[in-house]
Structure 1
Amino acid sequence: MHPLRRWWHETAGGLPATFWYLWAGILINRAGAFAMLFLSLYLTDERGASEALAGMVVGAYGAGGAVGVLLGGVLTDRWGRRATLLVAHLTTAGLMVALALSTHLVLIAVLAALVGVVHSMPSPAFVAAIVDLVPEPRRSRAFNLQFWAFNLGMAVASLLAGVLAEASFLALFLVDAAATLATAGVIAWKVPETLRGTSTPSPAARAEAPAALSASAPPSGPAAPRRARRPGLLTALTDRIFLTFVGLTFVLAVLSMQTSTIMPLAMRADGLSPSAYGLVVALGGALIVLGQLFVPRLIDRHRKHVVLAASTGLMALGFGVLTIADELAVYLGAAVVWTIGSMLAAPPNAQINADLAPPELRGRYQSVFYLTFPAASFVAPTLGGVSLQYLGSAHWLIVGGLGLVAAAGHLLAGPPRERRVAALRRSMAYGRADRTEAEDRVPAV
């Protein structure tokens, strides 16, 4: 096989057609999701809001996002993936049009909060649908492509947003609404519902599977039967192995948020211009767009927790270097290091998240996982600003140390995670076998 064809097969081959329609929907959605990037500027320049009020409205959007990921997870498991995606995108398009035409600041604040809710709802549904569609051996490449599409779309959005904002804020919101409608059209046309019935875990896997799964299975032995507890969002919120992974992902998100929250302040203190900051950010985006497709070949032969430990360690090193940064060249070199770390982390992070979720709770588990990002967007600037003000460059030592602790955490938490995943797979295999045996016992008509 030709080397280029072999590389493409290893990077993107063997994925179902429906995955590519989901991928296209993510790309279109991200490329058109630029209106909220300029929300604060729109409020101050077009609507006469003060900076404090603009900050509160943007905060309302962020708070809505935290609600949206939980709501999206519950609806993904109850309504289905396709229905949740369609409702979220169609509602978003309508709210964008309403935002474009609204002039009262109170109404704009309410609409911004609602947009935050529906903007975040699709994330659990997208990932749950990918897990439904893609066999486990190929999920790493699927999540790698998802991360690539997200970043490619964000790069396009950043370019388009500046042009549209200078021309017309009305156009900014309306084009965003049109892109959202286009995503809904792709989903309605080409993406079927992927949610299927799930099976009860077997007794053999019950000891290692999540507690709620074993609670839902029929009891055995002389003990009196108890009322089965229906697994729900509380299952994900009390799953210690999963929450340990979520906590480590939160640290990763806090590290990533440094680039958009604290690093600009540090660069300004070093006498560097906004264009220098833009160059550092652009370098990271370019590396992801150009290099992400080569990541699967680098990591597929290694255990996921080892890859996550190495990638988190690289991010810790990159941000730790900023302790001695005072020139643009040092910032650019550090950006290369932490960007490579984030590129390596993306596929195994998403895959572990998917593997830990029981099939009937995929949406809910995804929603709890995605809470880490709005939480990090609050914690990183709040604590980071205080740290930078009072500790100066030592702030980056703390950030680097936090990353190294998370890297060690992945090495320690990896084996229990792998045992949990193995138990869940046995559970599903026994469930399929039991279902097949039951069907065989049904007499032919």
Structure 2
Amino acid sequence: MPSVAGPRRAVRGAVSGMPREFWWLWTSTLVNRLGAFVATFMALYLTLDRGYSASYAGLVASLHGLGGVISSLAGGVMADRLGRRPTMLIAQVSTALSVAVLGFMENPVAIAGVAFVVGMASNASRPAVQAMMADIVAPKDRVRAFSLNYWAINLGFAVSSTGAGFIAEYSYRIGFLVEAALTLCCAAVVFLKVPESRPEHAPGASAPGHSTAKPAGVRLIDVLRDGRFMGVVGLSFLVALITQQGYVGLPVAMGADGLTSSDFGTAIAVNGLLIVVLQIPLTRFIEQRDPRQLLIVSTLFAGYGFGLTAFAGSVAAYALTVCVWTLGEIVNAPTQSGLVVKLSPAHGRGRYQGVYSMSWSVAALVAPLMSGVVIDQWGASWLWMTCALLGTVTALGYWLLMRNLSEDERPGERVVESGERVVLVEATAAEAPQAPVRAPEFAPERS
């Protein structure tokens, strides 16, 4: 049937041509997200099962998020120094152990402390995963790889949320143990099937008459001084601040309209459903379009999708606004990840990915405060207008930031300041087989 053949071709085109190592990494991500119990039900566990106040539950959630902020940077440094594979294994085993311990904690101080450790451990592997995908996937396929990975994250989360709900009705502790077990399974997949991908060093071209030398490594301060990349990080923070409102501002606004928690569950379920259904078929469309246009349009969809929420009053209307900002999310996430790789030198991908991941972790901390203050002081409509304004500002930021970005700029053609030298980070043959290698200009060494 023609109506079926088209989507089938789109799906086949989206998943074909990826290396075997990518699919094992993809499998480990899916298994990991299938066990996402703590992030989903921590608040309910603390308030309903343990009897703590909502304020205490919020404190624990903040500590969990703070751990993620810290480990974003630490995980990026580890991915470059120790390697992608060791970082993932350390993070995943640590996550499994700390989640299991958390399920048996009784003292409120101990619960808060272990939750902080869980936040650190569970977030530490993200920069390594992103860096490894950039290492093993050809440049032309990277946006597609990030799109497939994002689909796995959301599919796993959708399944785990449903399963965790049934588990929670029987025993929250079993939920913690199930997450720990699945995280160990994820570590086992990485240990058995995923090889190390970190470049030993970025090959350095030598000046005439000089021997080739290993260039100095990228330091964290070098990443923070990379103006254009930090611009992307700032814009990523604004995008995350907008999309987080679907989980912190939206339920409050729907409650103020007299809708129930099940109504919110129905509306927000549209987000996961659309991602699962549309992410893979839309991958080819995303891959073949100008990333500058995609980032601008997707940000406007996100901002104005939440802006339309100011006019919603029923479950159907709220679900329609979720459709709008979800389309922006589907396009923005893999496109932005591809841009981060494009702006990252091969031997510094871990640190670059760590700083990028931090923008989302910080947004997860700021978004609840933002929604609470705005709604309490001025009302939910002002929150949604703020989201529309942020979407407009972010779209303008992408336009300004990327107007001078060459279509064929590759990581190997970036100049990175490191120490007292300015070195050209060359792409490997696998990354840019046809890219000409420009002779680097070395700054004079100081005595």
- State the TM bucket, normalised to the shorter chain: 0.7 to 0.9
Q: Per the alignment, in what secondary structure is the counterpart of residue 218 of structure 2?
A: coil
Partner residue in 2 for 1:56:
59
Partner residue in 1 for 2:218:
231
Report the CA distance shift for 1:430/1:65 in structure 2 as closer, same or farther (over 3 A): closer
Partner residue in 2 for 1:211:
none
Runs of 4 or more consecutive aligned structure 1 residues displaced over 4 Å after TM superposition: 2-5, 200-204, 426-435
Partner residue in 1 for 2:418:
none
Q: Which residues of 2 match residues 46-445 of structure 1 at below 5 A?
A: 46-200=49-203, 230-392=217-379, 393-418=381-406, 421-422=409-410, 424-425=412-413, 427-429=424-426
Q: Shift of residue 386 of structure 1?
A: 1.6
Q: Shift of residue 234 of structure 1?
A: 1.0
Report the CA distance shift for 1:311/1:32 in structure 2 as closer, same or farther (over 3 A): same
Query: Within 2, Cα distance between the matches of 1:240 and 1:355?
Result: 14
Q: Per the alignment, in what secondary structure is the counterpart of residue 73 of structure 1?
A: helix
Q: Shift of residue 201 of structure 1?
A: 5.3
Q: Percentage identity across aligned positions?
A: 37
Q: Shift of residue 431 of structure 1?
A: 7.4
Q: How many residues align?
A: 414
Question: Contact 2:302 / 2:324 at 8 angstroms: preserved in 1?
Answer: yes
Q: Shift of residue 423 of structure 1?
A: 6.8
Query: Within 1, Cα distance between the matches of 2:28 and 2:157?
Result: 13
Give the counterpart letter for 1:99 in structure 2: L
Q: Per the alignment, in what secondary structure is the counterpart of residue 368 of structure 1?
A: helix
Give the counterpart letter for 2:87 in structure 1: T
Query: Within 2, Cα distance between the matches of 1:266 and 1:47?
Result: 27
Report the CA distance shift for 1:286/1:434 in structure 2 as closer, same or farther (over 3 A): closer
Give the counterpart letter for 1:247 in structure 2: G
Q: Shift of residue 314 of structure 1?
A: 1.0
Question: Contact 1:201 / 1:430 at 8 angstroms: preserved in 2?
Answer: no
Query: Within 1, Cα distance between the matches of 2:436 and 2:399?
Result: 36
Q: Give TM-score, length-normalised by structure 2.
A: 0.87
Q: Which moved more, 1:49-58 or 1:402-411?
A: 49-58
Q: Per the alignment, in what secondary structure is the counterpart of residue 234 of structure 1?
A: helix
Question: Contact 2:346 / 2:427 at 8 angstroms: preserved in 1?
Answer: no
Partner residue in 2 for 1:224:
none
Query: Within 1, Cα distance between the matches of 2:375 and 2:187?
Result: 43
Query: Within 1, Cα distance between the matches of 2:315 and 2:195?
Result: 49
Query: Within 1, Cα distance between the matches of 2:223 and 2:60?
Result: 30
Q: Shift of residue 200 of structure 1?
A: 5.0
Q: Per the alignment, in what secondary structure is the counterpart of residue 329 of structure 2?
A: helix
Query: Within 2, Cα distance between the matches of 1:3 and 1:229?
Result: 49
Q: Which moved more, 1:327-336 or 1:179-188?
A: 327-336
Q: Per the alignment, in what secondary structure is the counterpart of residue 244 of structure 2?
A: helix
Query: Within 2, Cα distance between the matches of 1:328 and 1:189?
Result: 46
Report the CA distance shift for 1:203/1:264 in structure 2 as closer, same or farther (over 3 A): farther
Q: Shift of residue 202 of structure 1?
A: 5.0
Q: Shift of residue 193 of structure 1?
A: 0.6
- CA RMSD for the aligned pairs? 2.4
Partner residue in 1 for 2:16:
13
Query: Within 2, Cα distance between the matches of 1:41 and 1:349?
Result: 33
Query: Within 2, Cα distance between the matches of 1:284 and 1:327?
Result: 17
Query: Within 1, Cα distance between the matches of 2:206 and 2:406?
Result: 19
Query: Within 2, Cα distance between the matches of 1:182 and 1:188?
Result: 10
Question: Contact 1:241 / 1:416 at 8 angstroms: preserved in 2?
Answer: no
Q: Which moved more, 1:10-19 or 1:193-202?
A: 193-202
Q: Deviation string for 1:165-207 (max 9, x for gaps)?
A: 1111220111011000110111111001111222255589xxx
Q: Shift of residue 330 of structure 1?
A: 1.9
Give the counterpart letter for 2:302 in structure 1: M
Query: Within 2, Cα distance between the matches of 1:266 and 1:5?
Result: 39
Q: Deviation string for 1:363-422 (max 9, x for gaps)?
A: 000010011112111222212222122322132122101101111211121133437944
Query: Within 2, Cα distance between the matches of 1:99 and 1:57?
Result: 12
Question: Contact 2:341 / 2:411 at 8 angstroms: preserved in 1?
Answer: no
Tell me, which stretches of 5 or more residues in structure 2 are unaligned? 415-423, 430-434, 438-447
Question: Contact 1:202 / 1:430 at 8 angstroms: preserved in 2?
Answer: no
Q: Shift of residue 434 of structure 1?
A: 11
Partner residue in 1 for 2:440:
none
Q: Which moved more, 1:73-82 or 1:381-390?
A: 381-390
Q: Shift of residue 429 of structure 1?
A: 4.7
Q: Shift of residue 279 of structure 1?
A: 0.9
Report the CA distance shift for 1:67/1:269 in structure 2 as closer, same or farther (over 3 A): same
Query: Within 2, Cα distance between the matches of 1:109 and 1:201?
Result: 47
Query: Within 1, Cα distance between the matches of 2:28 and 2:345?
Result: 25
Q: Shift of residue 230 of structure 1?
A: 4.8
Query: Within 1, Cα distance between the matches of 2:382 and 2:159?
Result: 35
Give the counterpart letter for 1:78 in structure 2: R
Partner residue in 1 for 2:442:
none
Tell me, which stretches of 5 or more residues in structure 1 are unaligned? 205-216, 219-227, 436-445
Which residue of the other structure, out of 26, 29, 32, is the alignment partner of 2:32?
29
